[in-house]
Amino acid sequence: MSLRIVVCVKYVPDATGDRRFAEDLTTDRESVDGLLSELDEYAVEQALQISEAVDDAEVTVLTVGPEDARDAVRKALSMGADKGVHVEDDDLHGTDAMGTSLVLAKAIEHIGYDLVVCGMASTDGTMGVLPAMLAERLGVPQVTLLSEVSVADGKVTGRRDGDAASEQLEAALPAVVSVTDLSGEARYPSFKGIMAAKKKPVETLDLDDLGIEAEEVGLAGAWTAVDEATARPPRTQGTIVTDEGEGGKQLAEFLAAQKLL
């Protein structure tokens, strides 16, 4: 039986764009270009490496989001994943991490899995809690924040690097893992991969398909909420120090005035 790997990815606003909140204080995803979260590219890469190292494996990419989120799935397919699943429903707007973990868990059960691979966090919310929530909802072990991961003999093993030491961890499959940005650079999609991705299947699901009520997700079902948001003030002109022999002194005085020394 093939090893069934599901990679959870997220379509996020481009960090180089002008990101802001919408009127309902959710992230404005319409006025800025989006892309596959960079940290999730590491998860795709590790899933592909695991797939290549075993005799028989299938990599499914899963995302939750609006219509444009399909682009994140296509990017992962062009990297080498086998198929995609996109959960799209208008009632998902404003869903927080708790609701997202519910939707992902239901979708993963629908797909069927042996190993779930996640990035360490999304580049928009940066909460980093979804892998643990997924493991809890699925009732399986979690091995998180790995910089090295492999699968053999029905177990997933990996190395977690900390400030003072590195840990070697393992868990029996099925399991949920997350990988860090130190796990290895993600591959670039080749032209052949991009063309092949257009023919790979992408299944679309909604809340009814997953047996989830609208009240369990979205803004109404969120456990967290943003009460207020203030736009970042525009940058002011900096202080120019003309060095006429006293530049170092002026710089030191400036830093001291800002309590940086």
Q: What is the per-residue pLDDT across 61-118, written as a single tens digit (0 to 9) for each?
A: 999 999 999 999 999 999 999 999 999 999 999 899 999 999 999 999 999 999 999 9
CA 180/CA 187 separation, integer angstroms: 15
In the predicted model, is pLDDT for residue 240 greater than 70?
yes
Crossing angle of helices 38-53/70-79, nearest 10°? 40
Say what the pLDDT of residue 112 is: 97
Rounded to whole angstroms, how far apart are CA atoms 195 and 23?
A: 39
Query: Which of the four pLDDT bands, split at 50, 70 and 90, describes residue 27?
Result: confident
Query: Which whole-number Å values give the CA distances from 86 to 61, 108, 178, 197, in the listed order?
Result: 8, 11, 20, 15
Above 70 in pLDDT, residue 17?
A: no
| Amino acid letter, 175 | A
* pLDDT value of residue 157: 97
Cβ–Cβ under 8 Å, residues 29 and 97: no
Q: How many helices (H) and strands (E) does the chain have?
A: 8, 12
Per-residue model confidence as pLDDT tens digits over 153-201: 999 999 999 889 999 999 999 999 999 999 999 999 999 999 999 999 9
Between CA 59 and CA 36 the distance in angstroms is 17
- The least confident of 31-35, 50-54, 98-102, 168-172 is 31-35
Whether residue 229 has pLDDT greater than 90: no
Query: Stretch 7-27: mean pLDDT, rounded?
Result: 79
Dig out the tokens for 208 from the structure: 């009814």
Instruction: Share the mean pLDDT of the chain.
Output: 91
- Asked whether the beta carbons of 15 and 27 are under 8 A apart, the reply is no
3-state secondary structure of 48: helix
Q: What's the pLDDT score for residue 170? A: 96
209 φ, ψ (degrees, to nearest 5): -65, -30
| Among 58, 73, 136, 102, residue whose Cα is nearest residue 207 | 102
Q: Does residue 31 have a pLDDT over 80?
A: no
% of the chain surpassing 70 pLDDT: 97
DSSP reduced 3-state for 172: strand
| Burial classification of residue 111, based on how many CB atoms lie within 10 Å of its CB (0-12 exposed, 13-18 middle, 19 or more buried) | middle
> Is the pLDDT at 52 greater than 90, yes or no?
yes
Looking at residue 20, its pLDDT comes to 72
Find the range with the poorest average confidence among 89-93, 126-130, 145-149, 242-246.
242-246
